[in-house]
Structure formats: structure tokens, C-alpha cells
Amino acid sequence: MENQFNLIKLTDNYQLKPFDCGDADLNDFLLNCSKDFSRGLLAVTYLIEDENNTIAFFSLANDKISVTELGSESKWAERFKDLLPIGKQFNSYPATKIVRLAVSLDYQFKGWGDAILDYLKIWFATDNRTGCKYITVDAYRASLKFYEKNKMIYLTSKDRKSDTRLMYFDLSKLS
């Protein structure tokens, strides 16, 4: 019989199943911090589970891309200027941030990460309740190739030597 998978929004009294993605900080976030983030209205966590395992989780929060903060890097400011709606210039653009994303070790490199990003893009582009133009992520260095493959673009070159890099995807580019 095919495995059943469920997408579950984490609530306070939900019993989390064990989870190991190979990264201690991400494991700790899910198992010990994600409910506090939900309670504090800081991030909402979603789980993908089968009957016995947490396959993956992602946590989301509101974000913005600030054009004024990018100001000194004219190449990037120019890129955003091209995308401005009908003659109106904004200082910042609304976004949803992937605060955390991780796939359990047993399920990595089997397409779950791709499927989650595809789902998020379609979810926010078609059920955009408050205005959200971009998906953003502060990506771990080890996962940059994964996000590049999913067409996410580096926001700035200032962080090119950092442990994490800011990336974005423009939802209005979805065909």
C-alpha cells in the first residue's frame, strides 16, 4: 500500500515525532523552539508526516525586501527598480521568509525539498491574502546549490563569504 503523507500546521498541544535532519540547530528548533515561535506569533511551522515519522518541516514568517537597505549596491537596486509596479516606487516589498526548512536524513535527496518549494511558490502566488511578492530565505552555505536549483537568486553580494546567504524568489515570475 502507498504511504499516506499529511501536511500539518503545528499547534501547541501537537505531539511532535522524533526528527533528525543531520543539523543539530535545525533539529533543536523543531523539537524545542517551534511552539514558542508559534505562541509568540514569530513563525508558523508546518510538518510533513507519515504515520510514524516527520519527513520534513518548514517554518514561515512575514518579511520584506528593503530597497533602501540594498541602496549602495546599484546592480541590485537597479534589478528591483525594473520590477516596480506602474510608476510607483516603494521602499520595501512584502515577502514570506522560510525561517527554517529541513528534510529528515532518511528522506533527503528524494525530491521532498523541491516539492516543498514548489508548493510554497504556488500556495503564496494563488492564495495571496495580504500581498506577498517574494519568498526569501537566509540559506545555509551547504544548501545554496539546492536553492539555486529552485531558481532562488542571491539578494546581495555582501554576504558571499558568510555562513548564510540571503536569497529570494519573485512570485510574480511564476507562469
Residues making contact with ligand COA (CB under 6 A) = 21-23, 26, 101-103, 108-114, 137, 139-140, 142-143, 145-146, 149
The alpha-carbon radius of gyration of the chain (Å, integer) is 17
Grid cell 527598480 in the structure block, residue? 81
Minimum Å distance from CB 129 to ligand COA? 25
Nearer to ligand COA, 43 or 67 (CB): 43
Q: DSSP string covering 146-167, please?
A: HHHHTT-EES-STTTTSSEEEE
Nearer to ligand COA, 38 or 54 (CB): 54
Nearest to 15 by CA among 40, 42, 44, 47: 47
For strands 92-103 and 134-140, give the pairing: parallel
Minimum Å distance from CB 31 to ligand COA? 14
Nearer to ligand COA, 90 or 112 (CB): 112
Cell of 158: 555582501
Minimum Å distance from CB 101 to ligand COA? 5
Nearer to ligand COA, 146 or 168 (CB): 146
Grid cell 525561517 in the structure block, residue? 99
Nearer to ligand COA, 26 or 135 (CB): 26
Minimum Å distance from CB 108 to ligand COA? 4
Residue nearest to ligand COA (CB): 113
What region does 109 belong to: left with phi over 0, alpha with psi -120 to 50, or beta? Answer: left
Asked if residue 139 lies in contact with residue 168, where contact means CB atoms within 8 angstroms, the answer is no
Nearest to 53 by CA among 114, 115, 107: 107
Minimum Å distance from CB 30 to ligand COA? 11
